[in-house]
């Protein structure tokens, strides 16, 4: 394969697969970052220009007055003398925080090593990994930087490990998963920000001098800032421009920071958020950072997204469902909320079956005495008041009706009003002597503790082995406060947030191994934990609690920047919509939901005959085009954050089929005509679909006038195209 080479003369490392190049070199024992971008030949000519800059100190024992960490491009900045944001900060036992890590050796491994306790991208004999070994000049502390490059992917993944081989503890105050230094150039940054029910809005802004950071300190990756940041050419759009898209395989607190220095160099920092993080590293222990993924696109945002999508589907998701058709589901949450009984559930399931749904999901409220959100989390025992024949019997009946059965859990939480909290009040995160802050009336269980995880595991296992369950929705409905574990020493409390995430991964690893046939969907009040860490275990996510079709267009559009359609749960709900009060047509609700993992979440027992007919047609349409939608190549065409219209499309791998979604938010009289140009088609093949016909090159360059099917506001169309000659 030989995608990684070391040039002895220049002491430089070059990772390249013909699509991208990533280059750095050793200089006076320091790793100097040279290049990340389109594949090039590197002959060693380019090095950082030497200049004596006042007030920029030289490294200890440096032979060169012209050499300063403060001004150069660095690979993993940790040494004293660089005043920008450092990758790693260590507090040593002698009270100092000065490090001086120097290059020792390198190693190239063919099989990508898995990360200790953390999910990561895997390879299938298509990756090559470079490990750089560094050592501090004073302490017996070792730093390994790992880089993986894959064949045919515009991706570098990185992770780092710190080992304490001294005989005293040290403390890690911050440790990046990756930093990238860019030489003088203009950038804009793109990130995905929002809130509950308004997740992942695309924010684009100029990179100015100084520091800008986004992140989460909520204990989860959060609705507010998704773990993603791209640096882009100012003229970049969906089809053109250079893009550096970065993300983390991590579900907890994260930070993405951009710093533009006085020499116009830009540093991108990503990793666990240093806020609330302070890790004691005992002698002989090591610490591994979550994996960073760095994508380089030379052709705009669509190429970046497709690189993420393919990598996620092919090298991250471990579930046996990763390539399987995902079932169309009906969920009772917005149909009944907590107010249901067996009879009502069976009636909804029966109607669901009639329209062609494949999986029925019983959401929150089936356990303890949970009639609202104030009780019973932690007591995973069926509520016989609502389900007099029990859960197993209900599942049996649903199966007899020809549907699979899915069940909701919120494993990481406990209600104050629960038997679990009464028995183990210390199992919630809390500071002894202080009152706990409720969120949705509940507390967070201390998943950093093995005993807590064991208990919940046993309780869930009891349900999953006595009831026939084909699908689990794993919810998480609040963020952390009082981040303190009664099981850890006081000098380890800075470890709690990360230990929690490691505990969660340990739990998920065990559960998904033990129940490989269950399809898991993750959720956190919708999209509050939509990240690569959760996707490693659960192949799909409830994208947002906002089920309004118009809001969903923006949410799904933003989400698609990183995450493929096969990860996005999307349901048709009732109108007026529960979150926005908006009334949209069943057609538009269907078109938007059919752009993801399709389902219904409304009371199917009160439908009109016309609605039933339309839903049957939607289900049949989705089944016909399911593979194209779930596993085709996805392209964004019109950005709803920039105007009144939105469009995206799916193209099959062989380009023989495509599906085009188009929507117009508000109607106008005398609307100006807009042409919509498709992408990703074969220029020389002739495509035909309802109202759209032409050769690929016509549809891509000349385009056509896009129209929704009906007059009025909030209209849309979903058009299937196939090659006819």
* Catalytic positions: 475, 545
Whether 477 has a binding-site annotation, put simply, is yes
Closer CB to ligand DGJ, 90 or 592, in the complex:
592
- The verdict on 521 binding ligand DGJ (CB under 6 A) reads no
In angstroms, give the least distance from the CB of 355 to ligand DGJ.
21
Can you tell me which of 242, 255, 351, 364 binds ligand DGJ, judged by CB under 6 A?
364
Can you tell me which of 257, 523, 586, 676 binds ligand DGJ, judged by CB under 6 A?
523
Whether 440 has a binding-site annotation, put simply, is yes
Three-state secondary-structure class, residue 473: strand
452 is written with which tokens?
Answer: 């807590």
Closest residue by Cα to residue 74 from 107, 25, 113, 10: 25
In angstroms, give the least distance from the CB of 524 to ligand DGJ.
7
37 is written with which tokens?
Answer: 């971008």
Cα 481 from Cα 437, distance rounded (Å): 7
What is the DSSP code (8-state) at residue 698? I
Span from 110-118, 205-213, 344-352, 520-528 in contact with ligand DGJ (CB under 6 A): 520-528
Cα 16 from Cα 39, distance rounded (Å): 6
Neighbouring C-alpha atoms within 13 Å toward the C-beta of 2:
3
In angstroms, give the least distance from the CB of 370 to ligand DGJ.
9
Our measurement of the distance from residue 619's CA atom to the centroid of its chain's CA atoms, rounded to an integer in Å, reads 28
Closer CB to ligand DGJ, 181 or 545, in the complex:
545
Cα 235 from Cα 244, distance rounded (Å): 14
Closer CB to ligand DGJ, 236 or 519, in the complex:
519
Q: Are 541 and 525 in contact (CB under 8 A)?
A: no
Closer CB to ligand DGJ, 556 or 652, in the complex:
556
Whether 315 has a binding-site annotation, put simply, is no
Whether 94 has a binding-site annotation, put simply, is no
In angstroms, give the least distance from the CB of 571 to ligand DGJ.
9
Span from 58-66, 206-214, 501-509, 518-526 in contact with ligand DGJ (CB under 6 A): 518-526
Cα 245 from Cα 231, distance rounded (Å): 7
How is 58-127 classified by DSSP, letter by letter? Answer: PPTT-S-TT--TTTS-BSS--STT--S--SEEEE-TTS-----EEEEEEEEESSPPPPTTS-----SS-E
In angstroms, give the least distance from the CB of 542 to ligand DGJ.
5
Q: Tell me the residue number closest to ligand DGJ, measured at CB.
A: 364
Closest residue by Cα to residue 259 from 209, 189, 185: 209
- Those residues with Cβ within 8 angstroms of residue 323's Cβ, 6 or more apart along the chain or in another chain: 313, 631
Can you tell me which of 69, 542, 557, 662 binds ligand DGJ, judged by CB under 6 A?
542
In angstroms, give the least distance from the CB of 438 to ligand DGJ.
15
- The verdict on 477 binding ligand DGJ (CB under 6 A) reads yes
Span from 145-153, 242-250, 271-279, 523-531 in contact with ligand DGJ (CB under 6 A): 523-531
Q: How many helices (H) does the chain have, and how many strands (E)?
A: 12, 38
Whether 363 has a binding-site annotation, put simply, is yes
Span from 352-360, 522-530, 590-598, 642-650 in contact with ligand DGJ (CB under 6 A): 522-530
What are the CA-CA distances from residue 532 to residues 210, 228, 414 (Å)? 29, 10, 26
Our measurement of the distance from residue 699's CA atom to the centroid of its chain's CA atoms, rounded to an integer in Å, reads 33
Q: What is the helix, strand, coil percentage profile of the chain, to 5? A: 20, 35, 45
Whether 237 has a binding-site annotation, put simply, is no
Buried/exposed 192-220: b ≥16 CB within 10 Å, e otherwise: bbbebbbbbbbeeeebeeeebebbbbbbb
In angstroms, give the least distance from the CB of 525 to ligand DGJ.
5
Closest residue by Cα to residue 691 from 709, 711, 669, 664: 709
- The verdict on 525 binding ligand DGJ (CB under 6 A) reads yes
| Rounded (10°) angle between helices 342-355 and 609-631 | 70
In angstroms, give the least distance from the CB of 523 to ligand DGJ.
5
Cα 642 from Cα 637, distance rounded (Å): 12
- The verdict on 333 binding ligand DGJ (CB under 6 A) reads yes
Closer CB to ligand DGJ, 503 or 526, in the complex:
526
Can you tell me which of 526, 539, 596, 680 binds ligand DGJ, judged by CB under 6 A?
526
Size of the site for ligand DGJ (CB under 6 A): 11
> What is the contact mask toward ligand DGJ in residues 7 to 46, using x (rule: CB under 6 A)?
----------------------------------------
- The verdict on 100 binding ligand DGJ (CB under 6 A) reads no
Report the Cα–Cα distance between both ends of the chain, in Å, rounded. Answer: 39
- The verdict on 196 binding ligand DGJ (CB under 6 A) reads no
Can you tell me which of 181, 261, 351, 363 binds ligand DGJ, judged by CB under 6 A?
363
Whether 53 has a binding-site annotation, put simply, is no
In angstroms, give the least distance from the CB of 329 to ligand DGJ.
12
- The verdict on 409 binding ligand DGJ (CB under 6 A) reads no
Span from 119-127, 234-242, 519-527, 678-686 in contact with ligand DGJ (CB under 6 A): 519-527
**Binding-site residues from annotation for substrate:** 196, 363-364, 440, 473-477, 523, 545
Residues that bind ligand DGJ (CB under 6 A): 333, 363-364, 408, 475, 477, 523, 525-526, 542, 545
**Binding-site residues from annotation:** 196, 363-364, 440, 473-477, 523, 545
């Amino acid at each position: 394969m030989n995608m990684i080479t070391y040039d002895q003369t220049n002491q430089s490392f070059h990772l390249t697969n013909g699509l991208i190049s990533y280059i750095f070199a050793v200089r006076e024992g320091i790793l100097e970052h040279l290049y990340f971008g389109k594949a090039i030949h590197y002959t060693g000519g380019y090095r950082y220009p030497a200049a004596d800059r006042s007030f920029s100190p030289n490294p200890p024992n440096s032979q060169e007055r012209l050499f300063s960490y403060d001004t150069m491009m660095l690979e993993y900045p940790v040494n004293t003398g660089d005043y920008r944001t450092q990758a790693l900060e260590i507090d040593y036992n002698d009270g100092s925080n000065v490090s001086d890590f120097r290059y020792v050796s390198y190693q190239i491994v063919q099989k990508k090593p898995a990360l200790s306790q953390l999910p990561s991208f895997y390879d299938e004999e298509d990756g090559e990994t470079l490990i750089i070994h560094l050592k501090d000049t004073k302490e017996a502390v070792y730093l390994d930087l790992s880089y993986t490059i894959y064949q045919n992917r515009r991706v570098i993944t990185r992770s780092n490990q710190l080992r304490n081989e001294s005989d005293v503890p040290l403390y890690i105050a911050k440790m990046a998963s990756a930093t990238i230094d860019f030489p003088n150039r203009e950038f804009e940054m793109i990130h995905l920000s929002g809130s509950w029910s308004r997740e992942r809005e695309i924010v684009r802004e100029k990179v100015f001098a100084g520091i800008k950071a986004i992140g989460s300190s909520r204990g989860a990756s959060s609705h507010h800032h998704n773990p993603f940041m791209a640096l882009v050419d100012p003229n970049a759009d969906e089809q053109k421009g250079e893009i550096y898209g970065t993300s983390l395989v991590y579900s907890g607190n994260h930070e993405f920071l951009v710093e533009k220095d006085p020499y116009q160099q830009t540093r991108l920092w990503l990793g666990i958020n240093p806020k609330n993080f302070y890790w004691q590293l005992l002698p002989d222990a090591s610490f591994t950072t979550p994996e960073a993924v760095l994508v380089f696109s030379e052709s705009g945002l669509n190429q970046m997204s497709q690189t993420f999508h393919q990598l996620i589907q092919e090298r991250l998701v471990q579930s046996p469902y990763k390539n399987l058709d995902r079932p169309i589901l009906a969920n009772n949450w917005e149909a009944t909320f907590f107010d249901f009984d067996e009879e009502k559930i069976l009636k909804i399931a029966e109607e669901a079956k009639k329209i062609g749904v494949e999986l029925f999901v019983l959401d929150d409220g089936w356990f303890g005495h949970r009639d609202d959100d104030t009780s019973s989390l932690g007591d995973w025992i069926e509520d016989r008041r609502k389900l007099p024949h029990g859960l197993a019997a209900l599942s049996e009946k649903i199966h007899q009706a020809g549907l699979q059965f899915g069940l909701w859990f919120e494993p990481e939480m406990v209600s104050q009003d629960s038997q679990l909290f009464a028995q183990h009040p210390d199992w919630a995160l809390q500071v002894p002597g202080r009152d706990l802050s409720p969120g949705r009336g509940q507390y967070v269980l201390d998943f950093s503790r093995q005993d807590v995880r064991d208990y919940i595991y046993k309780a869930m296992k009891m349900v999953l082995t006595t009831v026939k369950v084909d699908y689990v929705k794993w919810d998480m409905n609040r963020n952390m406060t009082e981040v303190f574990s009664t099981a850890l020493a006081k000098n380890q409390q800075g470890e709690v947030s990360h230990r929690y995430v490691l505990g969660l991964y340990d739990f998920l690893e065990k559960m998904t191994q033990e129940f490989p046939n269950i399809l898991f969907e993750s959720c956190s009040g919708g999209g509050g934990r939509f990240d690569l860490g959760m996707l490693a275990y659960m192949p799909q996510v409830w994208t947002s609690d906002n089920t309004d079709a118009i809001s969903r267009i923006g949410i799904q559009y933003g989400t698609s920047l990183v995450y493929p359609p096969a990860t996005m749960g999307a349901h048709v709900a009732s109108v007026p919509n529960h979150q926005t009060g908006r009334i949209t047509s069943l057609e538009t609700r269907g078109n938007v939901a059919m752009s993801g993992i399709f389902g219904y979440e409304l009371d199917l027992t009160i439908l009109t005959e016309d609605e039933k007919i339309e839903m049957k047609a939607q289900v049949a349409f989705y089944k016909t085009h399911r593979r194209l939608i779930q596993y085709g190549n996805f392209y964004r065409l019109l950005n709803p954050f920039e105007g009144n219209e939105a469009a995206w499309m799916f193209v099959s791998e062989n380009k023989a089929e495509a599906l085009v979604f188009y929507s117009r938010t508000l109607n106008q009289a005398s609307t100006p005509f807009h042409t919509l140009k498709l992408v990703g088609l074969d220029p020389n093949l002739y495509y035909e679909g309802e109202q759209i016909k032409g050769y690929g090159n016509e549809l891509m360059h000349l385009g056509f006038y896009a129209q929704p099917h009906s007059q009025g506001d909030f209209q849309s169309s979903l058009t299937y195209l196939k090659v006819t000659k």
